[in-house]
A and B are shown apart, each in its own frame.
Chain A
Amino acid sequence: MSLRDAGPPIALVVIFAVFAALSPQFRSVANVQNIMDAAAVLAVVTCGITFVLMMGSIDLSAAGVMGASALAVALLVENNRNGNDLGLLGIALAVLLAAGLGALSGLALVLLKVPSFMTTLGVSAIGLGVATLMFSGVQPNISDEMLEGWATGRFLGFSGLAWIALGCVLVGWLIQRYTRLGRYAYAIGGAEEVLALSGVKVAPFKVAVFTLAGAFYGLGGVMVTSQLGAGLVQAGKGYDFAAITAAVVGGTLLTGGRGGVLHSAVGVLLITVLTNGLVQIGVSPYWQGGVQGLIVVAAVAAAVIPQRRRNQVVK
């Protein structure tokens, strides 16, 4: 990381230190575990959205895709609604469904030339529709021990979900750093025309990026199901904008071409620490929303100061 990227990590350390000084409970081991557990789902979703943002596109489909995968997984592993007990295969199918919905966003974008803003909003609605159909009035509760264990089991102090999130960030970083998909995602966001002129067919890569993002959201939906013990249509509610916020706070630009998975992971931690810390130091719930917004804006402002001359961040 260059000096230009140091803003968000510094902000994270400062905010953590301030809360730790104000509240002894905040700096307890149990609370750090809480923060990691709470950050896990958002980290996985943000991983996915980061690739889309790197291309300079936007993705608002997370809520719907997560809902669809949450219901799918709840109905495929051992549950109270039907006799299915597919275990890992069920999880894989749910993630596959989510990847399919992601591919749909990408295809609509490149084939129908509909802006990603609209296609993904539409796909979100499709996902919620699919989820509502599968829900059909009765909440599926899971009894699959492996999936429940993701949320409750601990390894080296952290829950299974936290380790999965860590794995996702690592995989995301490897894809971004070492594969053609990752490099081209950057390049599309930086200068799509240049890439096209040099003979690269951009469209398949765009579809692939949306598919990858969909798969990450799908895993996020599965993780929410593991946490709550039930498949909820609203499993992804709020994650779409929370993930975009986290990515931007971490230093990924909405205009594309800058940032990345590690930046976004820092952004996720910043947001989660903030949410947790404000409760721990006892800020009134009536004030929290506003205070949180203020700190986020301040953190983003601090993060982009080194880039201010680059017109794109202030547009």
Chain B
Amino acid sequence: MTRMSRPVAALFSLSVAAMALAGCSEGSSTASGESGACDASDVKLVGQVRNESNPYEASWLDGGDAFAQSVGLKQERLTYDGDSTKQQEQIRQLLAGDTDCLVMNVLPNGDADTTPIVKGADQAGAYLVTQWNKPADLDPADYDRWVSHITYNGVESGQQIGDALAEAIGGEGGIIALQGVLDTAAAKDRFAGLEASLAKNPGVTLLDDQTANFSRAEALDVTKTLLTKHGDKVKGIWAANDDMALGALEALKQAGRSDVAVVGIDAVPDALTAIQDGSMTATVSSDGPWQGGIGLAIGFCAATGELDVKDLPADNRAFFAEQFLITDANVGDFATPKTDESDFECDNVFDRVAGPLS
């Protein structure tokens, strides 16, 4: 090898890369074909969540499969392990392929991850539905192919379980709160909901609030510490998700306390079992299987022309979806996650709109 070889090789590979990039952008700018002109059998369905090691997200993908099956298709299941870079890479690879009839139902890792996904999908002409995370100033109405953004009102769910907790302890006594990752919108909104509930229930006092970062193991340690700090004054535990609620239940068990009410959010299977056997009071469900199916259903209806994206009202483009408070009164209805095919018919896909994002 001569001395020149390395720089020459570098230059060569750079120019190849540049050409490849140029090719890509040319390809994608011509990709957006006529809206809603796809045959049902040509549609390609993709569901993307963080990981399948989390029951909620696993049930989301199962719901996607159920919808795909109902229209005679298969869903491609993608997971990115909560790694933003990996998520973007997967999306780029998807969009580099045939995108004319591509329908994606995506859970962006964080608010900031939504923008590049939306821009990429729009440029490539793929139908996109996003859920949970979106920067406030990004609006689906500004895009042709970003059909909907679905999310849930965290203030409302935080308040619902707060009220259920207050009722369970007879409207009087001390509670402790386990917060989620403090810099997430979910943690902030849910805690704001608890504060609203406390304002409504003056007999309930918040003894302490700590973060357990949405983690079962951390919640176990924090709860044990708080139980020694406040002792018998603790009548209830408000947790910003079920994982932490389950950690708190374990701590109560180890401390030999059975007189403390516990509430969480997410309706994971273990929490539902705990509600059934009476050790937990309430949780809130966003209905994971429905979320996995509905995102694909909305995109599918847009791709096949049954929904005209341009004519959709604003509160179908970005909305809070209905969520359900689960107590021992109705836990049986949620015990086995399942989807209802009629929810996914194009006339019904917006049945669960609970209000516009504000």
Contacts and interface: CB of A to CB of B under 8 A. Distances in A.
Contacts of A128: 53, 81
Q: Is the interface of B mostly helix, strand, loop or mixed?
A: helix
B229 A234 contact: no
Contacts of B224: 34, 37-38
B53 A233 contact: yes
Contacts of A83: none
B27 interface: no
Interface in A120-152: 128, 131-132, 135, 137-139, 141, 151-152
Given A30-B228, A34-B228, A224 B53 contact: no
Quick one: which of A128, A234, A238, A288 has the most chain B CB within 10 A? A234
B215 A276 contact: no
Given A137-B52, A282-B208, A25 B58 contact: no
Interface size class of A (residues with CB under 8 A): 35 or more
B254 A151 contact: yes
Contact of B226 (A132, A279, A286, A288): A279
Given A25-B228, A38-B224, A227-B250, A285 B211 contact: yes
Contact of B250 (A138, A229, A238, A276): A229
A141 B226 CA distance: 25
A76 interface: no
Nearest to A151: B254
Interface string B178-216: 010010000000000000000000000000111100011
A152 B254 contact: yes
A274 to B, nearest CB: 12
Contacts of A255: none
Contacts of A279: 208, 210, 222, 225-226, 229
Contacts of B81: 128
A159 to B, nearest CB: 8
B247 interface: yes
A246 interface: no
B176 to A, nearest CB: 11
Interface of B: 51-53, 55, 58-59, 62, 81, 179, 182, 208-211, 215-217, 220-222, 224-226, 228-229, 246-247, 250, 253-254, 268-270
Identify the 4 closest CB pairs spanning chains A and B, nearest first: A233-B53, A137-B58, A285-B211, A132-B53
